[in-house]
Amino acid sequence: MDLDPALAALRPLGGFSVLRTSRPPSPSGRPGAAVPLVHAYAPAPARAPEREHMPERGHEDAAPDGHLPVEPDPLGLRVRKVAAALGAGETRVAASVAHQGLAARLWSVTLACAVLYGAVPDLDPRLLRWDPDAGAPDDLWLAEVRPLPGDTATVADVVLAAHLAPLTAAVRTRYGVATGLLWGNAASALAGAGRELDRWTRREGRADTAAQVRSLTAGLLAHPRLAGTGTLAAAAADLPFRRRSCCLYYRVPGTGVCGDCCFSRPPGAPRSSPGARSG
pLDDT-derived band of residue 32, with 50, 70 and 90 as boundaries? low
* Residue 261 belongs to some domain of the structure: no
Please give the tally of structural domains in the chain: 1
Give the per-residue pLDDT at 273.
42
Query: What residues contact 8, with CB distance under 8 A and at least 6 apart?
Result: none
* Residue 262 belongs to some domain of the structure: no
* Residue 114 belongs to some domain of the structure: yes
Q: Dump pLDDT digits (tens) for 119-142.
A: 999 999 999 999 999 998 889 999
Strand (E) positions, the chain?
35-36, 51-53, 67-69, 119-121, 128-130, 140-142, 147-149, 230-232, 241-243
* Residue 275 belongs to some domain of the structure: no
ω into residue 137 within 30 of 0, thus cis? Answer: yes
* Residue 174 belongs to some domain of the structure: yes
**CA neighbor of 128 nearest in space, from 166, 184, 89:** 166
Give the mean pLDDT of 167-183: 96
Tell me which amino acid residue 222 is: A
Residue scoring higher pLDDT (175 or 270): 175
* Residue 91 belongs to some domain of the structure: yes
Residue 205: give the domain boundaries.
8-56+65-232+239-251
Query: How far apart, in whole angstroms, are the C-alpha atoms of residue 98 and residue 78?
Result: 7
* Residue 274 belongs to some domain of the structure: no
Q: Dump pLDDT digits (tens) for 228-253.
A: 999 988 666 677 899 999 999 899 98
* Residue 138 belongs to some domain of the structure: yes
pLDDT at residue 58 greater than cutoff 60: no
Give the per-residue pLDDT at 77.
94
pLDDT at residue 107 greater than cutoff 60: yes
Give the per-residue pLDDT at 236.
64
pLDDT at residue 76 greater than cutoff 70: yes
pLDDT at residue 66 greater than cutoff 70: no
